[in-house]
Amino acid sequence: MSTGLDPDTFESRLAGPGLGFRVGPFDLFLKARVKGLAAPLARLYRHYPVLDADRVFSINLTIHDVWRPAWRDRRRVRVLVDGQQPHEDMPAGQALAVLEWAQNLVIAMRFHSFLMLHAAVLERNGHALLMPAAPGHGKTTLCAALALRGWRLFSDEFGLLRPGGADMIPLPRPMPLKNASIEVIRQFAPGVELGPEIPGTIKGTVAHLPPPADSVAAAQRTAPAALVVFPRWRADAPLTLEPCHPAQAFMELARNAFNYELVGEAAFQSLRMIIDRSRCFDLVYSDLDEAIAVLTRLADDTDG
């Protein structure tokens, strides 16, 4: 599957009438008139099915250049969601990261028909692995590494499911690697294709790893939650994998979710089902290969 568009068509459609993409359960309509954005975006989005415009879209996003007088600061980009600005203009050099964050923002603010856990989610052998973690604990890095080793990517950020159920819903998107993680992933997977490095964002330097083609192609296939692992990267630490108390895991998932309270009782039911059917662990690691080996063993040991 691919957009099937050559770079010029991609750019002119993006800048003109707009382009529709199917991103997991969301249909995104995107217009972008930002110098230098189309080429990296075309590479990051190259696996997404392109949608015709004769449909209702879940998200309608526009990003465009804003020119400002030279004595104010430099070139900026403006994001519009349904014609409204969700935040102030951002430096133009960060357009790609800004666009990805804007999508996160709209999804998190709007789509409460899903329970949205804050977790990286991947699948292996039909079992979904949930990795909730605070920023800085290496969630995205480990998620990217697993995706590069054949795990099916659901999301590095959003654990989506239908309230009342425990089947995880894929939302494969580009994964924003930050700062040292960029080099870690380059060494982990020599020759890996990353988006441009974007320095100076609120989260430091960001570079996006495109979602694997297979993961995008299988984005409509859900998987039941089977493993909940709280990863924590610690320099030079030996790998430890300790069972985590289910009540503790429940509370962590609830506390970090985007809309646990908003969804209400059905969110409680979902978390109960996830915890009932999942094995829960705390993982401390310093070496990606070791962490992947232990997680792969866990997934392969899990009964279907």
Partner 1 sequence: MAERMAEAAGPGQPVVAPTTATVRRLLGIALREPQALPELSAPELDLCLRLLRRARLLGRIESSRRFTHPVPDILRSARVIAESRARVARWEMDRLAWALTGVDGPVLVLKGCAYLLLGTPNATGRSFADVDLLLPAEALPAAEAALKARGWSATELTPYDDRYYRDWAHELPPMQHPEREVEVDLHHNIVMPTGYLKPDAAELIAAARPIEGTRFHALAPVDMVLHAAVHLFYGGEMDGSLRELVDIADLLQHFDATEPGFRDAFWPRAEALGLLRPAFYAVRYVERLLELRLPAALAAAPARAAPSRPVLALMDALVPLALYPYHPERRARSATAARQALFIRSHWVKMPPLMLARHLGAKTLARLRHQMRGSGKGEPGAAG
In the complex, the residues that contact partner 1 under the rule CB under 8 A are 13, 17-20, 25-27, 29, 52-58, 60, 82-84, 88, 110-114, 261-264
Which residue's CB is nearer to partner 1, number 85 or number 240? 85
Axis-axis angle for helices 288-301, 139-148 (nearest 10): 70
Q: Smallest distance, Å, CB 85 to partner 1?
A: 12
Minimum CB separation from partner 1 for residue 299, in Å? 29
Least distance from partner 1 to the Cβ atom of residue 58, Å: 4
Report the nearest approach of partner 1 to the CB of residue 110 (Å).
6
Query: Are residues 79 and 91 in contact, defined by beta-carbon separation less than 8 angstroms?
Result: no
Dihedral-angle region of residue 4 (phi above 0 means left; psi in -120 to 50 means alpha; beta otherwise): left
| Closest distance to partner 1 from the beta carbon of 184 (Å) | 35
- The amino acid sitting at 219 is A
3-state secondary structure of 137: coil
Closer CB to partner 1, residue 3 or residue 179? 3
- Rank residues 88 and 303 by Cβ distance to partner 1 and give the closer one: 88
In the complex with partner 1, the residue whose CB is nearer, 12 or 187, is: 12
Angle between helix 139-148 and 180-188 (nearest 10): 20
Burial class (CB in 10 A: 0-12, 13-18, 19+), 43: middle
How is residue 42 written in tokens? 């075309």
SS3 category, 269: helix
Supply the minimum distance, in Å, between the C-beta of residue 14 and partner 1.
11
* Cβ-based nearer residue to partner 1, 18 or 196: 18
Nearer to partner 1, 112 or 178 (CB): 112
Give the nearest distance from C-beta 78 to partner 1 in angstroms: 14
Nearer to partner 1, 2 or 240 (CB): 2
Asked if 24 contacts 219 with a C-beta cutoff of 8 angstroms, the reply is yes
| β-sheet bridge partners, residue 207 | 177
Rounded-to-integer distance, Cα 108 and Cα 173, Å: 14
Nearer to partner 1, 167 or 287 (CB): 167
Residues forming a β-bridge with 122: 129, 153
**Core vs surface per residue 269-301: b (16+ CB within 10 A) or e:** bbbebbbeebbbbbbbbeebeebbebbbebbee
Please say whether the beta carbons of 141 and 288 come within 8 A.
yes
Phi, psi angle pair for 92, to nearest 5°: -60, -30
DSSP code of residue 102? H
Find the shortest distance in angstroms from Cβ 109 to partner 1.
9
